[in-house]
Amino acid sequence: MTANSLTDRHRANPTKLRGVVYTPPRLAEFLASQAFGALGESTSIRILDPACGDGQLLLAAYSAARARNITVDEVVGYDIDRTAVDKASIRLSDVPRTTLICGDFLELTARSQGPMDLFDTTHEHEYLNFDLVVSNPPYVRTQTLGASVSSSLGERFGLTGRVDLYQAFVVAMIQALAPGGALGLLCSNKFLTNRAGASLRRVLLDELQLDEIVDLGDSKLFDVAVLPVVVSGTRANGVQKARPIDFRSVYEVKGKVDGFGRPISVLDALSKQRDGIIHDGNRSFLIRRGCLDRGAGSSSLWNPMDPETKKTFETIRESDVSELGVFGKVRVGVKTTADSIFIRSDWRELPRKQHPEPELLRPLLTHRDIQPWSAEPGQRQILYPHRDEGGRAVAVNLANFPKTAAYLNNYRDRFGGSSLRN
Ligand SMILES: C[S@@+](CC[C@H](N)C(=O)[O-])C[C@H]1O[C@@H](n2cnc3c(N)ncnc32)[C@H](O)[C@@H]1O
């Protein structure tokens, strides 16, 4: 699984290239209701999804408007995929005043940002003036886009660093909003906590009056390899009010957990403003509620700061105790998105030909192994098919690790590719 072979497979795969994973209906409903939560009093609105796929989000937004007695003047969807647009037109056949366009939305915004042409009869400048923009924009990794596409997107949309396609879309979505118009965005949560996301965090803070961030973490609400977040807010109209930005996060709690009531789905719990531990019938989750630390600008990472955590930090800072960051760099640990494949305590029990080469198996230290003043790694080891190259993790060439390749091949369906090279 060299970095190149993975990227080549993504490039050769139209689904990966266009970042196509449609939003399931219940999540679409949640996203729409978050967007309406941000929107102020409105009697009539125009709705846009700039990458509408099969139209599920547009339908959810339209239904949410009707449920709130808001008149919908127009529903507009763009997608570059003709088949998706055809599916959307069937799904939205009962929705009046719907316009679905097969086209590249980024091209359209780029044209609309250019100098005004007096003879332009398309009225695109005025057209991009929506009251509600909802989207789960295409997620295409920088590596799949290629460096030159990524940097030209960065230039075009005022973003720096490693620009992913969804980041360019977020800027384009904001540009398509009327002042005071509301955004409901579903995308990868990576930008919250990585350096490459700093530029997007700046855009969101500068251009929007953010209403709420809901980090859906590892709740696995739909079939994507990345962890999703829902961001809602309105296009800033002059000076932004310094009010707290709500921030909730949902992460699975493993092991025995007491104290939850009747089973409830994650989205129902979020919609009902429940927090703490919940159980969905199969798994337990911790829903944390807090605020985005206002001191945290675009350069700091975005995490929910609940009142208790805030107090703990204040106490630590007032005392003589040093924070961990004084002793070393605090970094995000490994995210496998397939823990059961990469983390095991029974590697030795696998058939010999599939027992990964020892140099790729590393001891694993998690929060569960840490006690005050001591850290004892447990039995589990992580398969880490990377090597360190000047501080950067580089994927190893599996041709040199045939047993690891044989093991990972068992799960090739989970990785969404054809057989791994070995
Ligand atoms: C992650 S899917 C989401 C679809 C839909 N919004 C939903 O939530 O179910 C992303 C969609 O973006 C479309 N897409 C990719 N690049 C695009 C572009 N430049 N302009 C418009 N649509 C694009 C893909 O064809 C795909 O249908």
Distance 55 CA to ligand 1 centre (A): 10
Where are any strands of DSSP class E within 189-225? 208-215
**Residue nearest (by alpha carbon) to ligand 1 atom 21:** 79
**Ranges of the chain whose pLDDT falls below 50:** 1-7, 9-11, 114-121, 123, 125, 418-422
- What is the number of other CB atoms lying within 10 angstroms of the CB of residue 151? 17
Our mutation pick for probing the ligand 1 site, out of 23, 52, 170, counting the most ligand atoms within 8 A of Cβ, is 52
Q: Is the pTM of this model over 0.85?
A: no
Say if ligand 1 is within 6 A of residue 23 CB: yes
Angle between helices 147-157 and 105-113 (to 10 degrees): 40
Q: Is 278 in the pocket of ligand 1 (CB under 6 A)?
A: no
Q: For atom 10 of ligand 1, which residue has the closest CA?
A: 138
Ligand 1 centroid, distance to 126 Cα (angstroms):
23
Please enumerate in sequence order all residues whose Cβ is within 8 A of that of 203, keeping only pairs 6 or more positions apart, or say none. Answer: 158, 159, 170, 171, 174
DSSP string, 5-65: HHHHHHHH-HHHHHT--PPPHHHHHHHHHHHHHHS-S-SEEEEEETT-TTSHHHHHHHHHH
- Compute the distance between CA of residue 89 and CA of residue 77 in angstroms, rounded to an integer: 9
Residue 271, number of CB atoms within 10 A of its CB: 15
Nearest atom (ligand 1) to Cα of 84: 27
pLDDT for residue 305 = 79
CA of 368 to the centre of ligand 1 (A): 39
pLDDT for residue 46: 97
Using one digit for the tens of pLDDT, what is the confidence trace for 312-366? 877 877 887 776 777 777 776 787 778 899 999 999 999 999 999 999 999 988 8
- Which residues are CB-neighbours of 11 under 8 A, at least 6 positions away? 17, 144, 146
Q: What are phi and psi of 144, to 5 degrees?
A: -75, -35
Classify the C-alpha dihedral 30-211-285-325 as positive or negative.
positive
DSSP H helix total and E strand total for the chain: 16, 18
Out of 136, 145, 223, 224, mutate this one to test ligand 1's pocket (max ligand atoms within 8 Å of CB): namely 136
At the second CATH level, the architecture of 9-307 is 3-Layer(aba) Sandwich (3.40)
Residue 331: predicted pLDDT: 72
Judge contact between 213 and 192, C-beta under 8 A: yes
In whole angstroms, give the CA distance from residue 57 to residue 51.
Answer: 10
- The domains of the chain are located at 9-307, 339-409
pLDDT score for 259: 61
Separation of CA 211 and ligand 1 centre (Å): 24
- According to DSSP, the residues that pair with 342 across neighbouring strands are none
Q: How far is the CA of 384 from the centre of ligand 1 (A)?
A: 32
Distance 38 CA to ligand 1 centre (A): 23
